[in-house]
């Protein structure tokens, strides 16, 4: 279902006209109110007035995560604190958190976008949303919460954790929509099984999963195990939180970017040059309507691809492909570029492996080493349990990874449920070379 017919299905010229008007207004605003942007514009010799067409966006400077750190905590806010009604923050792996603010109108915009996201997944008034994204500084919980309420659905603000109790609530309240990270959905499935609850007998029809990388194979795994449609939702705190783009349940084929609020670009992460539609590169977003924390050409480090063919759901918005990795997540192992998602695709193509794994990268002498720790899924009929079989399985996986990536690794098979589960974002790479 399309929540906002007026903006989600506009002809290209109409959406571009809206974007240009909003971009000009944004350039004026940040130049006048954010010292960082005044300086960055002046250094490039560009004035807000130079924006005459959407192509002129390329005259404007990029914003990097480091710029936000340098202006910690509120230096990038474009509005006085008395207009800020909400603060969120995301904790990166290093240093201080990234702090973002919202005016009342920003919260309203975000709620609308989350209502669009949930509607695209097929949620209606009358649905019950089991919202297991974390509530707090993380944008997931409250983002989905406000969206569900805006749509008129009933929301259970269960947040992450206390998994056994969540199963009880699922049985008793009969939620129809599950919102959490993809890894947590699989953990919920396991815990339900242990409690003797058949997940497929619950009332869920759809799950809206995001906040961490996942693959088509994981989608299939989730859909088969949990018995629901699994759709992807993308966003980041800096841009607004979840609700920057969302998949529709009709096509499940790429995420519709809410272009009336965000202009997407794909650039070459090395050179910063824009890339054409269809090419893989780093996603960059400009926020068109945000008041408290507007950003120009924010470099996300997320790798994806943009395409503009209209979708069968009727939306005309540009779509982005599933996130393929991060430009700063890329592991370089003995000189070979390796994305964790590539290894995941090898693991997930097998039936005897559970979707729980950790990559451990280390250095012995001058040599990088890669160890892949993965859970064996013991299915009685297919598995004799003999040590020989396990060794063969490990060797097969090592060979598949070597064939795909050209990198040799050591596979360590571990017992089911020994790899730590996460209630939020799963940590799947441990790079010991950095410590
Ligand atoms: O993760 C916002 C969010 C909440 C999105 C709930 C979806 C659902 P941050 O904590 O700031 O915000 O983390 C943003 O998470 O740059 C991506 O690297 C990653 N990410 C988010 N959604 C996806 C996704 C939230 N669908 C960072 N696929 C982003 C892959 C994702 N990675």
- Residue 404: give its domain's CATH number: 3.30.300.30
Ligand 1 center from residue 42 Cα (angstroms): 32
Residues 236-245 have a mean pLDDT of 97
Q: Is 283 in the pocket of ligand 1 (CB under 6 A)?
A: no
Ligand 1 center from residue 233 Cα (angstroms): 8
Note the pLDDT of residue 203. 98
Note the pLDDT of residue 371. 96
Other Cβ atoms closer than 10 A to 184: 26
Assign residue 80 the CATH number of its domain: 3.40.50.12780
For atom 16 of ligand 1, the residue with the nearest CA is: 236
Q: Is 139 in the pocket of ligand 1 (CB under 6 A)?
A: yes
Q: Give yes or no: residues 64 and 199 share one domain.
A: yes
What does the alpha-carbon distance between residue 207 and residue 199 come to, in Å, rounded to a whole number? Answer: 13
Residues 216-242 have a mean pLDDT of 96
Q: Give yes or no: residues 322 and 381 share one domain.
A: no
Per residue in 315-330, pLDDT tens? 999 999 999 988 877 7
Note the pLDDT of residue 390. 85
Q: Give yes or no: residues 231 and 346 share one domain.
A: no
Give the mean pLDDT of the chain.
Answer: 93
Residues 232-250 have a mean pLDDT of 98
What does the alpha-carbon distance between residue 149 and residue 141 come to, in Å, rounded to a whole number? Answer: 12
> Going by DSSP bridges, is the β-strand pair 98-103/84-90 parallel, antiparallel, or unpaired?
antiparallel
What does the alpha-carbon distance between residue 95 and residue 72 come to, in Å, rounded to a whole number? Answer: 11
Atom of ligand 1 nearest to the CA of 425: 1
Residue 97, domain extent: 1-327
Note the pLDDT of residue 329. 75
Q: Give yes or no: residues 167 and 232 share one domain.
A: yes
- Considering 242-251, 375-384, 406-415, the range whose residues carry the highest mean pLDDT is 242-251
For atom 18 of ligand 1, the residue with the nearest CA is: 302
pLDDT over 60 at 80, yes or no: yes
| Cis omega (within 30 of 0) for bond into 297 | no
Note the pLDDT of residue 63. 98
Q: Give yes or no: residues 339 and 305 share one domain.
A: no
Domain boundary among 308, 327, 346: 327
Residues 411-416 have a mean pLDDT of 93
pLDDT over 80 at 234, yes or no: yes
Structure token pair of residue 143: 């983002």
pLDDT over 90 at 230, yes or no: yes
Structure token pair of residue 376: 């064996």
Q: Is 114 in the pocket of ligand 1 (CB under 6 A)?
A: no
Atom of ligand 1 nearest to the CA of 232: 26
pLDDT over 60 at 362, yes or no: yes
Ligand 1 center from residue 15 Cα (angstroms): 25
Least confident of 3-7, 261-265, 378-382: 378-382
Residues 404-428 have a mean pLDDT of 90
Q: Give yes or no: residues 317 and 347 share one domain.
A: no
For atom 1 of ligand 1, the residue with the nearest CA is: 211
Q: Is 210 in the pocket of ligand 1 (CB under 6 A)?
A: yes
pLDDT over 70 at 384, yes or no: no
Q: Which of 102, 236, 269 to mutate to test the pocket of ligand 1 (most atoms within 8 A of CB)?
A: 236
Q: Is 237 in the pocket of ligand 1 (CB under 6 A)?
A: yes
Ligand 1 center from residue 158 Cα (angstroms): 20
Q: In what order do the strands lie in the sheet with 241-247?
A: 154-156, 128-131, 177-180, 206-210, 229-236, 241-247, 255-257, 319-320, 306-307
Place of tokens 């540009």: 318
Q: Give yes or no: residues 228 and 358 share one domain.
A: no
Note the pLDDT of residue 92. 60
For atom 30 of ligand 1, the residue with the nearest CA is: 213
Note the pLDDT of residue 364. 86
Note the pLDDT of residue 94. 52
Structure token pair of residue 5: 């017919």
What does the alpha-carbon distance between residue 322 and residue 56 come to, in Å, rounded to a whole number? Answer: 28
Q: Is 213 in the pocket of ligand 1 (CB under 6 A)?
A: yes
Q: In what order do the strands lie in the sheet with 325-326?
A: 262-267, 281-287, 298-304, 325-326
Note the pLDDT of residue 335. 75
CA distances from 29 to 20, 77, 302 (A): 14, 11, 27
Number of domain units in the chain: 2
Note the pLDDT of residue 395. 95
Question: Which residue, among 344, 306, 300, 361, has the nearest Cα to 326 in the 3D structure?
Answer: 300
For atom 10 of ligand 1, the residue with the nearest CA is: 90
Better-predicted residue by pLDDT, 335 or 301: 301
Q: Give yes or no: residues 279 and 341 share one domain.
A: no
Q: Is 232 in the pocket of ligand 1 (CB under 6 A)?
A: yes
Question: Which residue, among 184, 287, 295, has the nearest Cα to 243 in the 3D structure?
Answer: 287
- Considering 235-244, 347-356, 417-426, the range whose residues carry the highest mean pLDDT is 235-244
- Interior angle at CA 394, CA 333 and CA 222, nearest 5: 85
**Long-range Cβ contacts of 399-403 (<8 Å, 24+ apart):** 400/346, 400/349, 401/343, 401/346, 401/372
| Percentage of residues in the chain having pLDDT higher than 70 | 97
Question: How is 394-429 classified by DSSP, letter by letter?
Answer: HHHHHHHHHHHHS---EEEEE-TT-SPP-SSS---E
Q: Which of 210, 285, 287, 423 to mutate to test the pocket of ligand 1 (most atoms within 8 A of CB)?
A: 210
Inter-residue contact 132 to 14 (CB < 8 Å): no
Better-predicted residue by pLDDT, 3 or 95: 3
Q: Is 212 in the pocket of ligand 1 (CB under 6 A)?
A: yes
> Going by DSSP bridges, is the β-strand pair 353-364/367-376 parallel, antiparallel, or unpaired?
antiparallel
Per residue in 157-211, pLDDT tens? 999 999 999 999 999 999 999 999 998 999 999 999 999 999 999 999 999 999 9
Least confident of 129-138, 309-318, 361-370: 361-370
Q: Is 182 in the pocket of ligand 1 (CB under 6 A)?
A: no
Q: Give yes or no: residues 263 and 398 share one domain.
A: no
Q: Is 326 in the pocket of ligand 1 (CB under 6 A)?
A: yes
Note the pLDDT of residue 289. 98
Residues 137-158 have a mean pLDDT of 97
Note the pLDDT of residue 380. 56
Question: Which residue, among 262, 235, 255, 247, has the nearest Cα to 18 in the 3D structure?
Answer: 262
Note the pLDDT of residue 44. 97
Q: Is 339 in the pocket of ligand 1 (CB under 6 A)?
A: no
Q: Give yes or no: residues 42 and 89 share one domain.
A: yes
Ligand 1 center from residue 237 Cα (angstroms): 8
For atom 13 of ligand 1, the residue with the nearest CA is: 236
pLDDT over 70 at 435, yes or no: no
Structure token pair of residue 176: 């129809």
Residues 32-36 have a mean pLDDT of 98
Q: Give yes or no: residues 301 and 350 share one domain.
A: no
Note the pLDDT of residue 318. 98
pLDDT over 80 at 386, yes or no: no
Question: Which residue, among 300, 289, 302, has the nearest Cα to 262 in the 3D structure?
Answer: 289
What does the alpha-carbon distance between residue 161 and residue 287 come to, in Å, rounded to a whole number? Answer: 32
Ligand 1 center from residue 195 Cα (angstroms): 30
For residue 175, the Cα-to-chain-centroid distance in whole angstroms is: 23
3 state DSSP class of 286 = strand
Domain boundary among 273, 295, 327: 327
Structure token pair of residue 387: 């040590």
Inter-residue contact 41 to 61 (CB < 8 Å): yes
Structure token pair of residue 301: 């480090």
Atom of ligand 1 nearest to the CA of 98: 11
For atom 28 of ligand 1, the residue with the nearest CA is: 213
Q: Is 134 in the pocket of ligand 1 (CB under 6 A)?
A: no
Q: Give yes or no: residues 305 and 398 share one domain.
A: no
Note the pLDDT of residue 423. 87
Note the pLDDT of residue 153. 98
Note the pLDDT of residue 434. 66
Name the phi and psi angles at 239, rounded to 5: -85, -40
Domain boundary among 277, 311, 327: 327
Note the pLDDT of residue 176. 98
Residues 247-251 have a mean pLDDT of 98
Q: Is 254 in the pocket of ligand 1 (CB under 6 A)?
A: no
Structure token pair of residue 290: 């945000």
């Amino acid at each position: 279902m399309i929540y906002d017919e007026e903006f989600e299905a506009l002809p290209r010229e109409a959406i571009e006209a809206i974007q240009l008007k909003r971009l000009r207004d944004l350039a004026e605003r940040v130049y006048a109110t954010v010292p960082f942007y005044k300086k960055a514009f002046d250094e490039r010799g560009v004035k807000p007035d130079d924006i005459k067409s959407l192509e002129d966006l390329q005259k404007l400077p990029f914003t990097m995560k480091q710029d936000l750190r340098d202006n910690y905590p509120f230096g990038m806010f474009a509005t006085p604190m008395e207009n800020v009604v909400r603060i969120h923050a995301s904790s990166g792996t290093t240093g201080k958190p990234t702090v973002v603010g919202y005016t009342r109108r920003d919260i309203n915009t975000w709620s609308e976008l989350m209502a669009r996201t949930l509607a695209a997944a097929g949620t209606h008034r009358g649905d019950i949303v089991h919202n297991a994204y974390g509530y707090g500084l993380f944008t997931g919980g409250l983002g989905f919460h406000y969206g569900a309420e805006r749509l008129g659905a009933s929301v259970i603000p269960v947040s992450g954790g206390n998994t056994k109790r969540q199963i009880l609530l699922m049985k008793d309240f009969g939620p129809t929509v599950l919102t959490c990270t993809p890894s947590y959905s699989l953990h919920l499935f396991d815990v339900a099984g242990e409690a003797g609850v058949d997940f497929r007998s619950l009332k869920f029809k759809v799950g809206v999963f995001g906040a961490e990388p996942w693959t088509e194979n994981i989608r299939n795994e989730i859909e088969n195990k949990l018995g629901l449609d699994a759709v992807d939702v993308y966003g980041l705190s800096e841009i607004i939180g979840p609700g920057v783009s969302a998949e529709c349940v009709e096509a499940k084929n790429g995420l519709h970017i809410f272009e009336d609020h965000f202009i997407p670009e794909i650039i070459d992460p090395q050179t910063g040059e824009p890339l054409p539609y269809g090419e893989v590169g780093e996603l960059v977003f400009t926020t068109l309507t945000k008041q408290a924390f507007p950003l120009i050409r924010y470099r996300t480090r997320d790798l994806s691809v943009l395409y503009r063919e209209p979708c069968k759901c009727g939306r005309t918005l540009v779509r982005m492909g599933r996130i393929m990795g991060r430009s700063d997540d890329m592991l370089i192992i003995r000189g070979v570029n390796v994305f964790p998602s590539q290894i995941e695709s090898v693991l997930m193509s097998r039936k005897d492996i559970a979707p729980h794994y950790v990559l451990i990268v280390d250095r012995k002498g001058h040599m990088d080493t890669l160890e892949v720790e993965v859970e064996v899924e013991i299915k009685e009929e297919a598995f004799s349990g003999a040590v020989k079989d396990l060794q063969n399985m490990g060797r097969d996986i090592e060979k598949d990874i070597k064939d795909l990536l050209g990198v040799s690794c050591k596979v360590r098979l571990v017992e089911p449920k020994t790899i730590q589960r996460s209630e939020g974002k799963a940590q799947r790479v441990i790079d010991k070379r950095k410590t």
